[in-house]
Amino acid sequence: MNKKEVKKVVLAYSGGLDTSIILKWLQDEYNCEVVTFTADIGQGEEVEPAREKALKLGIKPENIFIDDLQEEFVKDFVFPMFRANTIYEGEYLLGTSIARPLIAKRLVEIAKETGADAVAHGATGKGNDQVRFEIGALSLNPEIKVIAPWREWDLNSREKLLAYAEKHEIPIAKKGKKSPYSMDANLLHISYEGQVLEDPNAEPEADMWLWTNSPEEAPDTPEYITISFENGDAVAINGEKLSPATILRTLNEYGNKHGIGRIDIVENRYVGMKARGCYETPGGTILLKAHRAIESITLDREEAHLKDELMPKYASLIYNGYWFSPEREMMQAAIDKTQENVNGDVRLKLYKGNVIVVGRDSKNSLYSPAHSTFEEDEVYNQKDAEGFIRLNALRFIIEGELQPKRTAKYLNEDKKSKENDKTEEEKVSFGAKLKDFLGIQ
């Protein structure tokens, strides 16, 4: 990229050391005007100090954007994802992944508002976030330029970063003990990577976990809660209507208390390597269990099964940064259609790391006690099952007679190759037997 082409850039700015260094580096290397954008997506840290830091680094007051995006984050990104019961590689609830398209969207919006011709981020050249930010931004504005300092500069060690900060009088926080982990947090989760976790055989230290009680130290008494759903989204807890962000924040409190939502996984990054990450997703873990429970009584069997088949692809699209892609939108439309009757209440028992479904009720329930009972009923003729079974077994019966070697392996029989084919006479005889079996006159 020709640095002279960039006149103004919008930087995703946390106010921390790395992005403060990036801010100064952009001013020096690109000789451009910098706009800072700080997103509050429920990370649990005060975001206003970013304003003061940006001002000290020479940013004009009108070029400092600090936005509370918590409600938009949950309503327009987290909830649509949970309608699909989305999990990446069997365990990861995509807490970091789902936040990136929102940040990319706001970067592009601010660039348009301020007349900026570029956006910048602090993601490294090894991770997934660079892909998510940049694909997201380019999806919304194909003309936008993207600056990724970690792919350009030579400040590739902690020592070089600190030396750069000292040289340019960038404030360095020295209070307290610095966490050895690379962490990312928002209203859905907190993640931990790096340092001791780079050994996949090393158990995380107990004091690493910042949000949740350990299951061993969680209360000895279970707690019951009820989550109410409308069109697949949680709308109330224990009968109290709450906003989307408040729903998730409240579920986080329950999950933290009861030691719910910790996972330790090795995942496959989009850029090629494996990475070990630890995550706390307390409210999301509760919400996922509850959503599947309400779907279990409101979705048709084939509808539910098809959703489960689509989900891994949908999860990969989010993980890899394709939130704004036409294929994700297509799948979202199908998923949202299935949620029209996903209404009702789910009762849960929370106990020492476990989320246990104890009840579900819906005005749209497809559960029919009259058909499901083990007692005498007047709505289901058990004799009907005989024809159902015969028709579903028909292809196996034909195959077993005409290609006996295929099934012989299951019975440990030594079949000779000549038995693999039937004579015409045997086939005619088999046809008569089959008509008799199916009751055909």
Catalytic residues: 18, 100, 129, 182
Residues 263, 397 contacting (CB under 8 angstroms): no
What sign results for the dihedral spanned by CA atoms 281, 284, 290, 293? negative
DSSP H/E element including 278: strand 274-280
Strand pairing of 223-230 and 33-40? unpaired
Q: Is 439 left (phi over 0), alpha (psi -120 to 50) or beta?
A: left
Residue whose structure tokens are 């004579």? 423
**Cα–Cα distance between 295 and 22 in angstroms, integer?**
46
**Cα–Cα distance between 180 and 93 in angstroms, integer?**
23
DSSP H/E element including 108: helix 100-114
Q: Is 115 left (phi over 0), alpha (psi -120 to 50) or beta?
A: left
Residues 264, 204 contacting (CB under 8 angstroms): yes
Residues 37, 110 contacting (CB under 8 angstroms): yes
DSSP 92: B
Q: Residue 317, exposed/middle/buried by CB under 10 A (0-12, 13-18, 19+)?
A: buried
**Cα–Cα distance between 292 and 83 in angstroms, integer?**
9
**Helix, coil or strand: residue 285:** helix
Tokens read off for 188: 């859905």
Residues 267, 247 contacting (CB under 8 angstroms): no
Q: Residue 94, exposed/middle/buried by CB under 10 A (0-12, 13-18, 19+)?
A: buried
β partners of residue 268: 274
Of 278, 283, 181, the C-alpha closest to 234 is: 283
Of 216, 228, 190, 150, the C-alpha closest to 44 is: 190
> What residues have CB less than 8 Å from 288, skipping those under 6 apart?
82, 85, 87, 93
